[in-house]
Structure 1
């Protein structure tokens, strides 16, 4: 079995990316991988941190304020919460600092808790919601179905962008997604488009998925 030069090159690029742009380590006996913060990938980095810390059950310090200091009268429950928070804070701080390129650490607070560090980094790489909206709209309205991955996944990806835009207070109704999906399908789906345009009743997203998937399966059998 021979590996093509293109495949070999892709594997080399993937290995380089994994080695230099991700960090993998064990947290509570769970192997976690975090994409290294390079500056332009803040959202992905933040999602990785939050997801991995949550999965390892050490995200307490990211979502709560600093635990109160223990006193003689502290209860056993308070001591347990304090210990859990301190452990979480230590792990979260180490995870964040270890997954940031060295030259980006300048100016980032060193004497703070995990929640404060995340806020400080978020402020540095904050992207306005308007920029997010523009980027999402551009991607959504420039999508074209090329046959890769199946038409079901294509429509679901559109719905994902719709959901993200709705979260940014840009309300795109399902009818908009149905129209956009149909208008960006290749000519072989012309029967589906004609059927939709000849009706007064709008389709739901699920109706659309059912019809286009059925049509694609029929076309693949021909």
Structure 2
């Protein structure tokens, strides 16, 4: 029984010191209105509930980022496209999946007019792929 009391006293002291250390690392305005006297677990639970971000807010923020992203002639085009793919990957984690062709078309359309050659080259390649597929189907159909 005496050991349990000593253990409990040590636990309370440890908890109190942990809480003090944690509160010192958090800005004061974020602490206002939270429990002054609580265990570390209760403190973190209250802090988590207060600053919990819903999935809908994350989804909306990611969608706005994707729809408003424009190439600003800073950095290379590859970095810009990688940003878009990164946002697309985050959206996939929220069960929102965009077709890869859509992302590519959207990325190309968001480039400034001085990238017209890239757009034309991409469209030409896509057209050739489509024609190749149609030709292959035609040949396969008439071979038998």
Alignment TM-score, normalising by the size of structure 2: 0.64
1:133 matched to 2:53? The reply is: no
1:180 matched to 2:101? The reply is: no
In 2, distance between residues paired with 1:137 and 1:185?
18
Distance 1:103 1:143, change over 3 A: closer
In 2, distance between residues paired with 1:173 and 1:95?
48
Question: Deviation at 1:94?
Answer: 5.1
Distance 1:148 1:96, change over 3 A: farther
1:136-171 alpha-carbon deviations (Å, 9 max, x no partner): 111111111111122121111111211221112211
In 1, distance between residues paired with 2:106 and 2:60?
17
1:41-99 alpha-carbon deviations (Å, 9 max, x no partner): xxxxxxxxxxxxxxxxxxxxxxxxxxxxx99xxxxxxxxxxxxxx79x93xx4564223
The answer for the alignment partner of 1:147 in structure 2 is 73
Larger radius of gyration: 2
Structure that is richer in helix per residue? 2
Alignment TM-score, normalising by the size of structure 1: 0.44
1:112 matched to 2:35? The reply is: no
Distance 1:138 1:197, change over 3 A: same
In 2, distance between residues paired with 1:156 and 1:164?
12
Moved over 3 A (4+): 93-96, 115-119
1:192 matched to 2:118? The reply is: yes
Runs of 5+ unmatched residues, structure 2: 5-13, 131-144
SS at match of 1:171: coil
The answer for the alignment partner of 1:9 in structure 2 is none
In 1, distance between residues paired with 2:21 and 2:83?
31
Distance 1:156 1:127, change over 3 A: same
1:124 matched to 2:50? The reply is: yes
Question: Deviation at 1:185?
Answer: 0.9
Distance 1:117 1:162, change over 3 A: farther
In 1, distance between residues paired with 2:102 and 2:72?
20
The answer for the alignment partner of 1:161 in structure 2 is 87
Runs of 5+ unmatched residues, structure 1: 1-69, 72-85, 203-222
In 2, distance between residues paired with 1:160 and 1:123?
28
Structure that is richer in strand per residue? 1
Instruction: Report how many residues are paired.
Output: 115
